[in-house]
C-alpha cells in the first residue's frame, strides 16, 4: 500500500496527513514566474520542488486524478516598463521571455504540459497567463464590491481589509505590525492603510483593459487578483494545495486568501499552503549589486540540467539552500556513479526507502541517501525517476555528449579499426599514434575483454 502523504502546512504551522477534498481529483496551484527577464536560479527552486510534488501526487493518486496549475505573471510594472523601453507590446516581451524560461526548466527535468496532458482528457497541467484571465478578475472584483468587501476610490478598486474579520490568518502577523508596515506611504484614497489595490487606472502608454464597476477610464489589475482568478478558473473556489516561495506569504498569499474567500464566501481558499525556503549563493544573498546573480542559463552553460536538479533537491525544500560550486561538483560525481550502475537498465519497482521519505513532506535528503545505498540498477532507476533523475539511458547520454562535442563518429570508428589492426600486427608505435589522435579529438578508448570501447572524455 502506498504510504500516507504528510505535508507541512503554513496555515496551521504543522505537518499533517494530506486528505484531498476529492481523491479522484487532487488540485494544486503554484505561483509561477513574472516573465520580464531571464529567470534566476532562485526562481528554479519552486519550479523544481513543486514539480517533484506533482510527480509524487501523480504516483500516489494516479496521473488522471491530479491537476496542477502554475501561472505566468505576464503583466506588472517591470514588464510594462521593459516593453515600453524596447518599443514592443507586453505580449511580445513576455512571449519571448516565457519561451526562454520553458527551454531552461525543461532542461532541469521539469514536466511540461505537453509531457503529461492527454488529448480529450481533463488537463493534468495548465499554465494560465494573467492577461488571459481579465474577465475572471473583473468578475471577482465586482463580486467583492457587491458583497461589501471592496470599494471604488479615485479610479481604483480597493479591497477593504477591515471588512474581513480574520484577515491575516495565513501570515499570522499582528494587525498593528501589518499596519505599521503599510503606513510608510499610504495613498490618500485608501480607507485603511492595509487596503490593497484590486484594479488601478493605467497611465498613458501602459497596457489597459475596460475597467470594472462602471469606471470610465481603462485600467489594469493589481498583482494579487490574478492568482485568485486563475486558481478559481482552473481549480475551483476551494482546492487542495497552494504553493510558492516563502517571500509570497505576505502580502501576496494573504491577499489572495482575502479576495477568494470574501468573494466566494468560503472558509478556506486552499487547504494546504506550502512555501519553499530561499536560495542564496556561496553563503550570500543573491543580488545584482553583489555581482553574484546567477541565471538558470548561466548554470546550464557549465552543467547538465540534471546536475542542477540534483543539487537543488539535496536540501529540504523548506530550508534555505546555499547554492555552491561544491554542491554542483558533488551532484555531478553522484550522477556519474549512478549512471555507471544503472547503464541502460529499465526501471523496476519504486523502492519503499525512496517513496516513504518523499511522502513525509518531501524529505529529499533521506530519499537520496537511500538511492546512494541501492546497487540494484532497476530499483535505483525507478527511485531516481520518481524524483525526475536518471531519466536518460547511459547510451543516450553518451550519444548526447558525442553530439555536443561535435565528434565525427565514422572517423572515430575508422581510427579504432586502424588501431586494432596496428595492435594485431604488434605495431605498438602506430597503435599509440592512433590513440593520441583520438585523445586529441576528445575521445578516450578502453580495451576490455569484449573488445575496444570508446567514449567522449568528460
Ligand atoms: P518572481 O518571478 O520574483 O515573482 O518569483 C517567482 C517565484 O520564485 C516565487 O515563488 C518566488 O517566491 C520564488 N523565488 C524568488 N527568488 C527566490 C530565491 N532566491 N530562492 C527561492 N525562491 C525564490
Ligand atoms: Zn500568486
Cα 198 to middle of ligand 2, angstroms: 14
Q: Say yes or no to pLDDT of 11 above 70.
A: yes
More reliable by pLDDT, 68 or 424: 68
In contact, 420 and 452? CB cutoff 8 Å: yes
Average pLDDT over residues 128-152: 98
Q: Say yes or no to pLDDT of 194 above 90.
A: yes
Grade residue 298 by pLDDT with cuts at 50, 70 and 90: very high
Q: Using CA atoms, how far apart are residues 161 and 150, in angstroms rounded to an integer? A: 8
- How much of the chain is helix, strand and coil, in % rounded to 5? 45, 15, 35
pLDDT for 129: 98
pLDDT for 458: 58
- How do beta strands 66-70 and 125-126 pair? parallel
Minimum mean pLDDT among 15-29, 99-113, 195-209, 394-408: which range? 394-408
- Which uninterrupted H or E stretch holds 14? strand 14-17
Probe target for ligand 1 pocket from 227, 245, 281, 323, with the most ligand atoms within 8 Å of CB: 245
Q: Say yes or no to pLDDT of 443 above 90.
A: no
Q: Considering only CA atoms, which residue is closest to atom 16 of ligand 1?
A: 42
Average pLDDT over residues 29-51: 96
More reliable by pLDDT, 367 or 177: 367
Nearest ligand, measured from the Cα of 275:
1
Burial group, residue 135, by CB count within 10 angstroms (0-12, 13-18, 19+): exposed
**Alpha carbon 206 to chain centroid distance?**
29
Cα 417 to middle of ligand 1, angstroms: 54
Average pLDDT over residues 301-309: 96
pLDDT for 329: 97
Cα 40 to middle of ligand 1, angstroms: 8
Q: Which residue has the cell 541565471?
A: 295
Q: Which residue has the cell 496527513?
A: 17
Nearest ligand, measured from the Cα of 225:
2
pLDDT for 288: 81
Q: Say yes or no to pLDDT of 311 above 70.
A: yes
Nearest ligand, measured from the Cα of 253:
2
CA-40 nearest atom, ligand 1: 16
188-222 burial, b at 16+ Cβ within 10 Å, e below that, comes to eebeebbbbbbbbbbeeebbebebbbeeeeebbbb
Grade residue 455 by pLDDT with cuts at 50, 70 and 90: confident
Nearest ligand, measured from the Cα of 98:
1
Cα 321 to middle of ligand 1, angstroms: 13
CA-286 nearest atom, ligand 1: 19
Coil, strand or helix at 314: coil
Grade residue 358 by pLDDT with cuts at 50, 70 and 90: very high
Percent of the chain scoring above 70 in pLDDT: 99
What φ, ψ does residue 24 adopt, rounded to 5°? Answer: -85, 0
Coil, strand or helix at 37: coil
Cα 350 to middle of ligand 2, angstroms: 33
Grade residue 22 by pLDDT with cuts at 50, 70 and 90: very high
Cα 398 to middle of ligand 1, angstroms: 34
Minimum mean pLDDT among 77-91, 165-179, 355-369: which range? 165-179
Q: Considering only CA atoms, which residue is closest to atom 12 of ligand 1?
A: 245
User: Reading across the β-sheet that carries 156-159, which strands appear in turn?
Assistant: 150-153, 156-159, 196-201, 219-221
**All CATH 3.40.50.620 domain ranges in the chain, comma separated:** 1-276
As a residue count, the chain comes to 458
Q: Using CA atoms, how far apart are residues 46 and 131, in angstroms rounded to an integer? A: 22
Q: Which residues does ligand 1 sit against, CB inside 6 Å?
A: 31, 33-34, 42-43, 45-46, 244-245, 247-248, 276, 278-279, 286
More reliable by pLDDT, 246 or 410: 246
Q: Using CA atoms, how far apart are residues 100 and 449, in angstroms rounded to an integer? A: 46
- Which uninterrupted H or E stretch holds 22? none
Q: Considering only CA atoms, which residue is closest to atom 21 of ligand 1?
A: 278
Nearest ligand, measured from the Cα of 296:
1
What secondary structure letter does DSSP report for 345? P
pLDDT for 1: 63
Q: Which superfamily does CATH assign the domain made up of 1-276 to?
A: HUPs (3.40.50.620)
Q: Which residue has the cell 505537453?
A: 114
Q: Say yes or no to pLDDT of 332 above 90.
A: yes
Percent of the chain scoring above 90 in pLDDT: 84
Average pLDDT over residues 95-115: 97
109: left (phi over 0), alpha (psi -120 to 50) or beta: left
Average pLDDT over residues 449-455: 78
pLDDT for 160: 98
Q: Using CA atoms, how far apart are residues 458 and 456, in angstroms rounded to an integer? A: 6
Nearest ligand, measured from the Cα of 76:
1
Average confidence score pLDDT of the chain:
94
Q: Using CA atoms, how far apart are residues 419 and 417, in angstroms rounded to an integer? A: 5
Q: Using CA atoms, how far apart are residues 314 and 56, in angstroms rounded to an integer? A: 17
What φ, ψ does residue 234 adopt, rounded to 5°? Answer: -100, -20
What secondary structure letter does DSSP report for 149? S
Q: Considering only CA atoms, which residue is closest to atom 7 of ligand 1?
A: 43
Cα 41 to middle of ligand 1, angstroms: 9
Cα 195 to middle of ligand 1, angstroms: 24
More reliable by pLDDT, 446 or 62: 62
More reliable by pLDDT, 439 or 208: 208
Grade residue 366 by pLDDT with cuts at 50, 70 and 90: very high
Grade residue 444 by pLDDT with cuts at 50, 70 and 90: confident
Q: Say yes or no to pLDDT of 449 above 90.
A: no
Q: What is the CA radius of gyration of the chain?
A: 26
In contact, 359 and 60? CB cutoff 8 Å: yes
pLDDT for 260: 98
Q: Considering only CA atoms, which residue is closest to atom 9 of ligand 1?
A: 245
* pLDDT tens per residue across span 267-284: 999 999 999 999 999 999
Burial group, residue 182, by CB count within 10 angstroms (0-12, 13-18, 19+): middle
CA-280 nearest atom, ligand 1: 19
- How do beta strands 219-221 and 150-153 pair? unpaired
Q: Say yes or no to pLDDT of 177 above 70.
A: yes
* pLDDT tens per residue across span 144-170: 999 999 999 999 999 999 999 999 999
**Alpha carbon 191 to chain centroid distance?**
37
Q: Say yes or no to pLDDT of 406 above 70.
A: yes
Cα 241 to middle of ligand 2, angstroms: 12
What secondary structure letter does DSSP report for 12? T
Residues within 5 Å of ion ligand 2, judged at the Cβ atom = 31, 227
Q: Say yes or no to pLDDT of 324 above 70.
A: yes
Cα 281 to middle of ligand 2, angstroms: 25
Amino acid at each position: 500500500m502506498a504510504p500516507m502523504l504528510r505535508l507541512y502546512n503554513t496555515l496551521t504551522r504543522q505537518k499533517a496527513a494530506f486528505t484531498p477534498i476529492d481523491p479522484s481529483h487532487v488540485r494544486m496551484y503554484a505561483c509561477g514566474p513574472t516573465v520580464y527577464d531571464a529567470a534566476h536560479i532562485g526562481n528554479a527552486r519552486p519550479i523544481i520542488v513543486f514539480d517533484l510534488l506533482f510527480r509524487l501526487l501523480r504516483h500516489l493518486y494516479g496521473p488522471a486524478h491530479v491537476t496542477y496549475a502554475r501561472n505566468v505573471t505576464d503583466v506588472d510594472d517591470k514588464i510594462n516598463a521593459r516593453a515600453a523601453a524596447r518599443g514592443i507590446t507586453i505580449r511580445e516581451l513576455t512571449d519571448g521571455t516565457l519561451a526562454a524560461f520553458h527551454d531552461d526548466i525543461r532542461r532541469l527535468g521539469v514536466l511540461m504540459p505537453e509531457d503529461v496532458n492527454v488529448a480529450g482528457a481533463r488537463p493534468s497541467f495548465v499554465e494560465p497567463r494573467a492577461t488571459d484571465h481579465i474577465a475572471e478578475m473583473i468578475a471577482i472584483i465586482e463580486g467583492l464590491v457587491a458583497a461589501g468587501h471592496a470599494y471604488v476610490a479615485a479610479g481604483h478598486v480597493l479591497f477593504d481589509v477591515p471588512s474581513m474579520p480574520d484577515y491575516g490568518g495565513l501570515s499570522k502577523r499582528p494587525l498593528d505590525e501589518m499596519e505599521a508596515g503599510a503606513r510608510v506611504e499610504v495613498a490618500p484614497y485608501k480607507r485603511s492603510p492595509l487596503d490593497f489595490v484590486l484594479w488601478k487606472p493605467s497611465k498613458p502608454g501602459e497596457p489597459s483593459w475596460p475597467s470594472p464597476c462602471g469606471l470610465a477610464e481603462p485600467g489594469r489589475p493589481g498583482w494579487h487578483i490574478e492568482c485568485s482568478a486563475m486558481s478559481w478558473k482552473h481549480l475551483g473556489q476551494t482546492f487542495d494545495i497552494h504553493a510558492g516561495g516563502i517571500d509570497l506569504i505576505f502580502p501576496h498569499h494573504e491577499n489572495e486568501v482575502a479576495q477568494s474567500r470574501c468573494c466566494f464566501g468560503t472558509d478556506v481558499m486552499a487547504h494546504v499552503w506550502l512555501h519553499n525556503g530561499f536560495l542564496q549563493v556561496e553563503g550570500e544573498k543573491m543580488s545584482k549589486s553583489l555581482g553574484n546573480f546567477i541565471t538558470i542559463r548561466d548554470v546550464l552553460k557549465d552543467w547538465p540540467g540534471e546536475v542542477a536538479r540534483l543539487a537543488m533537491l539535496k536540501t529540504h525544500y523548506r530550508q534555505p539552500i546555499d547554492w555552491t560550486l561544491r554542491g554542483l561538483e558533488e551532484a555531478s560525481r553522484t550522477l556519474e556513479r549512478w549512471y555507471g550502475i544503472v547503464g541502460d537498465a529499465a526501471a523496476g519497482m519504486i523502492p519503499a526507502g525512496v517513496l516513504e521519505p518523499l511522502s513525509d513532506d518531501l524529505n529529499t535528503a533521506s530519499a537520496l541517501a537511500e538511492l546512494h545505498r541501492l546497487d540494484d540498477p532497476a530499483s535505483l532507476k525507478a527511485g531516481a525517476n520518481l524524483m525526475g533523475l536518471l531519466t536518460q539511458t547511459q547510451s543516450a547520454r553518451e550519444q548526447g555528449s558525442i553530439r555536443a562535442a561535435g565528434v565525427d563518429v565514422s572517423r572515430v570508428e575508422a581510427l579504432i579499426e586502424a588501431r586494432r589492426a596496428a595492435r594485431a600486427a604488434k605495431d605498438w608505435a602506430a597503435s599509440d599514434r592512433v590513440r593520441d589522435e583520438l585523445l586529441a579529438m576528445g575521445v578516450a578508448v578502453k580495451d576490455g575483454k569484449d573488445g575496444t570501447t570508446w567514449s567522449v572524455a568528460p
